[in-house]
Amino acid sequence: MSRFDQFFSDLAKKLKASEIRELLKWVRGKNVISFGGGFPSPELYPVKELAEIAKRIIEEKKHVALQYTLTEGLPELRSALKEFMERKDGIKVESEDNILITSGSQQALDIIGRLFINPGDAVIMELPTYLAAINAFNLQSPRYYGVPIDYEGIIVEKLEELLTKLKSEGVKPKFLYTVPTAQNPTGITMTMERRKRLLELAEEYDFLIIEDNPYGYILFENMEIKHLKALDKSERVIYLSTFSKVLVPGLRLGWVIADKEIISKMALLKQSLDLCSSTITQFIAYEAIVSGLVDKQIKILPGFYKKKRDAMLNALEKYMPDGVEWTKPIGGMFVFLYAPEQIDTHKMLFKAIDRGVAYVPGKNFYIDGSGHNTMRLNFSYPSLDDIDRGIKILADLLREEIEKTKA
């Protein structure tokens, strides 16, 4: 009980520090191999190029780069993204009015939560799904419905079952949130067949789809994958992406592609949230696109991260005891691990840290309280050596824990 409790809103009272976040914060700087974060590898950051770009755009654009810009986003950046999306992602954007620049994808998630969710509204999430999307939507107190995924992405048959059931109960979901490509936390990519079926179901049962695509430029295999937004014929998909993974997170810039009316509502809300995103960083992002720096990054990233993924998959294969399974991501930054049912990865985390390795307990990615025996392992940040060493430590610990439960 604090003296400020009487002033706090119900929302404020609900907010609790994430145990995991505090733990991982505490781990930072210690001699622990961290598979916990979701950071890109800093070795790939184009430091020199961005330093030059930052100087040049401020010198050239002068007071325009230092002034407020439009809430919707810097016009130059929106134009560049329109062209970029068509060229790189096969998404035909009708006009700049279909694009909103956000302060990271996270802001888009918050805005979407506020614009679409009334307390108690039905929202469909993958099991598991991206933790920070859950946190953003939680602020609006939705009623979640979960649909499991397998190695081909969301199980559309299970989704259809759920939709039929909801319909019979008179419940109409507002939207389904998905990271269809190189998902966080599993690294799983939805097949084309499932993508098409998902869109059909959205049409049939009339709900929106939030397609979150931070990892689409980090694919290790040549895949014939089209974004849901590229397949979307009726403006049902709200597409989110970000410069954080393809360029650098320090810009804090993302973008949304959606129907004009939705973009205009989003901008109207954003006006009250931060007026506009930083003009300086928007000009840097703009220059990074038009100068070809982003294209260059897109060429380098997959090969670099593929080595790390391979190192992790090899180590898992080499060290993990029987009964432990994991995903084989074809892109992104994460492997998801399934330990035997009797293992509680949350409880085990303290022991793991004690032995010098950290991860995120998978439970945090499930909206239904399941996933107690899973964990997310990040391979983009640790070095190749650390990946091997860390997975060995983890495998030894898991073996001991499994043995213990057998005894």
Site for its own copies in 135-164 (CB under 8 A): 135-136, 138-140
Residue 326 or 381 having the CB closest to its own copies: 381
Which residues inside 92-131 make contact with its own copies, applying CB under 8 A?
Answer: 103-104, 106-107, 109-110, 114-118, 121
Residue 235 Cβ vs its own copies, minimum distance, rounded to whole Å: 8
Q: Which residues pair with 210 in a beta bridge?
A: 177, 238
Residue 165 Cβ vs its own copies, minimum distance, rounded to whole Å: 20
Write the single-letter amino acid at 110: D
Residue 120 Cβ vs its own copies, minimum distance, rounded to whole Å: 11
Q: What is the C-alpha separation between 61 and 68, in angstroms, rounded?
A: 13
Cis bond before residue 173 (omega within 30° of 0): no
Residue 62 Cβ vs its own copies, minimum distance, rounded to whole Å: 5
Instruction: Work out whether 168 is an interface residue with its own copies (CB under 8 A).
Output: no
- Contact track, its own copies, 232-251, x by CB under 8 A: ------------x---xxxx
**Would you say 316 and 390 are in contact if contact means Cβ atoms under 8 Å apart?**
no
Which residues inside 3-62 make contact with its own copies, applying CB under 8 A?
Answer: 4, 6-12, 15-17, 21, 39, 42-43, 45, 47-48, 50-52, 54-56, 58-59, 62
Residue 179 or 188 having the CB closest to its own copies: 179
Q: Closest by alpha carbon to 297, among 57, 49, 78?
A: 49
Q: Closest by alpha carbon to 148, among 381, 304, 334, 365?
A: 365
Cα angle 391, 34, 364 (rounded to 5 degrees) comes to 95
Residue 356 Cβ vs its own copies, minimum distance, rounded to whole Å: 23
Residue 45 or 319 having the CB closest to its own copies: 45
Residue 250 or 292 having the CB closest to its own copies: 250
Write the single-letter amino acid at 142: P
Which residues inside 275-294 make contact with its own copies, applying CB under 8 A?
Answer: 275-281, 284
What sections of 215-278 are H helices per DSSP?
228-231, 243-246, 260-274
Q: What is the C-alpha separation between 200 and 293, in angstroms, rounded?
A: 37
**Which residue from 265, 306, 389, 392 is in contact with its own copies, where contact means CB under 8 A?**
265
**Which residue from 97, 196, 231, 264 is in contact with its own copies, where contact means CB under 8 A?**
264
Q: What is the C-alpha separation between 38 and 266, in angstroms, rounded?
A: 27
Q: Which two tokens stand for residue 42?
A: 């800093």
